[in-house]
Amino acid sequence: MSGTTYQVITHGKFAELTDEQRASLITQAGEHDLFKARFTEEGTVTYEPALLTFTFRVLVPATEEDTEDLVLGQAKELAAAAIRRLGGEYRDLRSVSTDLSKIKVKRKGR
């Protein structure tokens, strides 16, 4: 059974945070800087110390039978779990994906 991998970006907003949650997330902000963003199967979260929005990048393996909606749902679940592990809450998740098997590489000179 063959499959593909989707590269998914999930954007979200931080939900109402307590002072303790806010302090903890601000302390961790340097570890979640945009320059540390990577697409991995575990996913990476980036956000700014203002704690308004965040971005979660992840690679989601899929079979040929998996729909894009299923993949986006998985990515949103992973994003929610990542934000909770950081000690925060989220709202307004929206995701976009790219099927890596459908990317065409144009070679120079051809």
What would the pLDDT profile of 22-80 be if each residue is shown by its tens digit?
A: 999 999 999 999 888 999 999 999 999 999 999 999 999 999 899 999 999 999 999 99
Per-residue model confidence as pLDDT tens digits over 35-50: 889 999 999 999 999 9
At 102 the pLDDT is 85
Vertex 67: Cα angle to 62 and 72 (nearest 5): 80
How much of the chain is helix, strand and coil, in % rounded to 5? 35, 35, 30
Q: Is the pLDDT higher at 31 or at 104? A: 31
CA–CA gap between residue 12 and residue 25 (Å, rounded): 15
Q: What is the pTM of this model?
A: 0.89
Report whether CATH 3.30.70 matches the domain 3-102. yes
Per-residue confidence at 3, pLDDT binned at 50, 70, 90? confident
- Is the Cα dihedral 12, 13, 15, 21 positive or negative? positive
**Among 8, 21, 3, which Cα is nearest to 60's?**
8
Q: Would you kindly state where each structural domain of the chain is located, as residue ranges?
A: 3-102
